[in-house]
């Protein structure tokens, strides 16, 4: 595929400025931005669309992210790292990174795909991000791919600790070790309109309130209640019935 036929030299220069990487083989860069709809419309061979690079980039992102998290969270266990990784490399996370870089405007799309807003579609953005990562890896190796990923989103990664920590599982394990039973969660109230509800939840065991939480979803409120319960229990690790005198 002749790169100058679809993306001008000036446009390629602009993209490389944005991603802070200069390709030795610019054809790889063009391929990374070639959507299948464009390839079909222009009768370009399917292997010259970005799908194969997307496949490769997905694996590179996983590897680089795993190492980054392994080094960043030295004291956390495998479960925590797995949950953080799933949040970090989710489609929404990658599409957001692509949007921040403005990659959508460089996408080569078929007329129908472009007319329907393909340049801003999350799936198209996350796919081009993966394909671009794959292209950088093929062109320069793992080191420049790692530098790109850190610049693009890893160094700025913010994780909701409540989801990453999975406090519900931790609380369950903590209680089951001593009592062979599980805590349960009670929705106390729901406040606000349907699209902006706030849930209030209590973590309960043997009729006693161990912790309370609030959140924009039941899951978020339960995680917060479990976190509060664990914090209280670990401060006073005696019999659970001594943790709270408040009854339901």
Tens of pLDDT along 10-31? Answer: 999 999 999 999 999 999 999 9
Q: List the structure tokens of 208.
A: 């006693």
Please tell me the pTM assigned to this model: 0.68
pLDDT for res 102: 96
Per the DSSP assignment, residues forming a β-bridge with 211 are 203
In order of their start, the domains of the chain are 3-159 (1.10.1520.10), 162-242 (3.30.160.20)
Distance CA 7, CA 1 (A): 11
- 3-state SS class at 177: helix
pLDDT value for 204:
94
Which is more confidently placed, 92 or 160? 92
- How are strands ordered across the β-sheet holding 198-205? 184-191, 198-205, 208-215
Kindly report, residue by residue over 190-236, the tens digit of the pLDDT.
998 877 789 999 999 988 999 999 988 888 888 889 888 988 888 77
Q: Using pLDDT thresholds of 50, 70 and 90, give the confidence band for residue 54.
A: very high
Segment 62-89 shows an average pLDDT of 88
CA atoms within 13 A on the CB side of 164: 18
Report residue 166 CA to chain centroid gap.
16
DSSP string, 25-52: SHHHHHHHTB-HHHHHHTT--GGGSSHH
- Cα 57 to Cα 127: distance, rounded to the nearest angstrom: 9
Which residues are catalytically annotated? 58, 130
pLDDT digits (tens, 9 = 90+) for 129-173: 999 999 999 999 999 999 999 999 999 876 665 555 677 888 888
Cα dihedral sign for 65, 70, 75, 78? positive
């Amino acid at each position: 595929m002749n790169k100058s036929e679809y993306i001008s030299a000036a446009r390629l220069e602009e993209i490389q400025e944005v991603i802070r990487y200069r390709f030795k083989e610019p054809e790889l860069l063009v391929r990374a931005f070639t959507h299948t709809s464009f390839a079909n419309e222009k009768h370009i061979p399917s292997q010259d669309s970005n799908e194969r690079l997307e496949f490769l980039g997905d694996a590179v992102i996983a590897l680089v992210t795993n190492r980054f998290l392994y080094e960043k969270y030295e004291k956390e266990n495998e479960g925590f790292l797995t949950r953080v990784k799933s949040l970090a490399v989710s489609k929404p996370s990658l599409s957001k990174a692509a949007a921040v870089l403005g990659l959508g405007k460089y996408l080569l799309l078929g007329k129908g795909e472009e007319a329907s807003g393909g340049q801003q579609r999350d799936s198209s953005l996350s796919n081009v991000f993966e394909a671009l990562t794959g292209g950088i890896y093929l062109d320069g190796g793992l080191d420049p791919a790692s530098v790109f990923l850190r610049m693009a989103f890893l160094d700025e990664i913010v994780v909701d600790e409540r989801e990453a920590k999975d406090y519900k599982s931790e609380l369950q394990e903590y209680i089951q070790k001593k009592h062979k039973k599980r805590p349960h969660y009670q929705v106390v109230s729901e406040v606000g309109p349907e699209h902006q509800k706030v849930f209030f939840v209590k973590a309960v065991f043997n009729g006693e309130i161990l912790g309370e939480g609030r959140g924009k979803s039941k899951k978020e409120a339960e995680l917060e209640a479990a976190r509060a319960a664990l914090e209280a229990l670990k401060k006073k690790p005696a019999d659970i019935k001594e943790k709270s005198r408040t009854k339901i």
